[in-house]
């Protein structure tokens, strides 16, 4: 708030309506945090004084008030777990099966449904941008991309990026053997045209083709699907497809939004990698690392970063993953705090550092 004060008091701020709106919204958000902290601080001090003065029997009456303060303190602590400037944005999820054919495609489809159900449970909307099915796995996908919109969608889902591992007795194996499958989940914030990302039109190739996805006769009989390819400044060509609806113009706009998000994420990954090199870390970046295992025949789900365990994989795969996400956010905050501390290595004491 103190850092924002000079800008809020600058008369020139109101010459730029978009900037003025952004600054005032941020100031209002921060003011709520500051006011909430001050109120909670008063409550804690008052409660401590009452406990000190109260007789033993009277202390029981204060327990309800203590429980309320602890809940508010926990809620305030959770606010500190949202790091970065894009936590309030929509989340673009891309799901790709690993090697394994039918089994992995089916696993990718299960993950897609898990995130769709998570969105429903939390009042998010889901916009499916693209999905490539697999004939051998009726509910599977060989590729899926969707946007989840809701309060802090990217803030929550950012910790879901990585490789997810499934172990089960395969329904596609006539001999009922145990199979291990992998699928990669990529999570990016939706970067719209209000965020400047340098894209030279000469470096972009746009192709249109007939949609192969569901959507009715008008979708599948017109060249409404869009493929955007971009190469400049990247070792490999970036390709984005969108066949969400029958409007070629809207599909192109959505594809360009995903391209901006992908370029932003690539730049962020490069920045994080440079930071790790500067600190002398050899740790790999999150993308490509195994973050969670779902072992169905032994009835458990384990997050390898946080150590969090669940023994109801059916509920987890039905979208009940909020506690796993909170644990992931705490882990990430601890990693950041440890890395930023003098001599920190980004690993030991992560949760303790976050709470400190």
Query: What gap in Å lies between CA 163 and CA 355, rounded to an integer?
Result: 27
Bigger pLDDT: 83 vs 239: 239
pLDDT of residue 194: 59
Strand 204-209 versus strand 91-97 pairing type: unpaired
pLDDT of residue 92: 93
Closest CA to 122 of 84, 149, 82: 149
pLDDT of residue 306: 95
Bigger pLDDT: 244 vs 97: 97
Bigger pLDDT: 47 vs 249: 47
pLDDT of residue 101: 83
Is a pLDDT exceeding 50 seen at residue 71? yes
pLDDT of residue 122: 95
pLDDT digits (tens, 9 = 90+) for 297-355: 999 999 999 999 999 999 999 999 999 999 999 999 888 777 666 655 544 444 444 44
Place of tokens 């996400």: 325
Q: Which domains are seen in the chain, by residue range?
A: 5-79 (no CATH), 91-190+289-355 (3.30.70.1660), 201-279 (3.30.160.20)
pLDDT of residue 344: 53
Is a pLDDT exceeding 60 seen at residue 253? yes
6 Cβ contact list (under 8 Å, min separation 6): none
Bigger pLDDT: 153 vs 209: 153
pLDDT of residue 349: 45
- pLDDT band (50, 70, 90) for residue 212: low
Bigger pLDDT: 139 vs 54: 139
pLDDT of residue 254: 83
- pLDDT band (50, 70, 90) for residue 56: confident
Quick check: helix, strand or coil at residue 298? Answer: coil
- pLDDT band (50, 70, 90) for residue 214: very low
| C-alpha separations of 181 from 13, 95, 112 in Å | 54, 13, 15
Contacts 24+ apart (CB under 8 A), 236-239: 238/262, 238/263
pLDDT of residue 350: 44
> What DSSP assignment string belongs to 159-192?
GG-EEEEEEEE-TT-TT--EEEEEEEEEEEE---
- pLDDT band (50, 70, 90) for residue 252: confident
Is a pLDDT exceeding 60 seen at residue 219? no
What is the pTM assigned to this prediction? 0.72
Q: What is the mean pLDDT of the chain?
A: 83
pLDDT digits (tens, 9 = 90+) for 122-148: 999 999 988 888 888 889 999 999 999
Closest CA to 240 of 251, 224, 232: 251
pLDDT of residue 210: 74
Query: What gap in Å lies between CA 306 and CA 329, rounded to an integer?
Result: 9
Is a pLDDT exceeding 60 seen at residue 41? yes
- pLDDT band (50, 70, 90) for residue 287: very low
């Amino acid at each position: 708030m103190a850092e924002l004060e000079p800008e809020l008091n600058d008369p020139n701020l109101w010459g730029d309506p978009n900037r003025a709106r952004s600054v005032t919204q941020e100031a209002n958000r921060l003011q709520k945090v500051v006011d909430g902290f001050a109120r909670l601080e008063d409550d804690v001090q008052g409660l401590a004084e009452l406990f000190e003065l109260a007789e033993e029997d009277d202390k029981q009456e204060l327990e309800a008030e203590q429980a309320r303060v602890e809940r508010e303190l926990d809620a305030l602590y959770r606010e500190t777990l949202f790091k970065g400037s894009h936590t309030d944005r929509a989340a673009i999820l891309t799901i790709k099966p690993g090697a394994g054919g039918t089994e992995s495609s089916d696993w990718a489809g299960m993950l897609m449904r898990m995130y769709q159900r998570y969105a429903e449970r939390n009042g998010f909307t889901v916009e499916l941008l693209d999905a490539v099915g697999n004939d051998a796995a009726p509910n599977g996908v060989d590729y899926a991309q969707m946007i989840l919109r809701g309060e802090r969608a990217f803030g929550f889902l950012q910790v879901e990026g990585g490789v997810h591992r499934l172990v089960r007795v395969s329904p596609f194996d006539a001999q009922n053997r145990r199979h291990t499958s992998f699928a990669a989940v990529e999570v990016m914030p939706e970067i719209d045209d209000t965020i400047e990302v340098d894209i030279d039109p000469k470096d972009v190739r746009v192709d249109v083709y007939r949609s192969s996805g569901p959507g009715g006769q008008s979708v599948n009989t017109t060249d409404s699907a869009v493929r955007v390819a971009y190469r400049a400044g990247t070792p490999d060509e970036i390709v984005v497809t969108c066949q969400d609806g029958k409007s070629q113009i809207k599909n192109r706009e959505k594809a360009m939004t995903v391209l901006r998000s992908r370029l932003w994420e690539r730049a962020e990954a490069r920045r994080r990698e440079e930071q790790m090199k500067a600190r002398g870390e050899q740790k790999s970046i999150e993308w490509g690392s195994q973050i969670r295992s779902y072992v169905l025949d032994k009835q458990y789900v384990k997050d390898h970063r946080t150590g969090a365990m669940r023994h109801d994989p059916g509920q987890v795969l039905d979208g009940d993953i909020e506690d796993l996400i909170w644990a992931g956010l705490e882990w990430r905050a601890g990693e950041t705090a440890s890395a930023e501390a003098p001599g920190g290595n980004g690993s030991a004491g992560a949760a303790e550092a976050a709470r400190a």
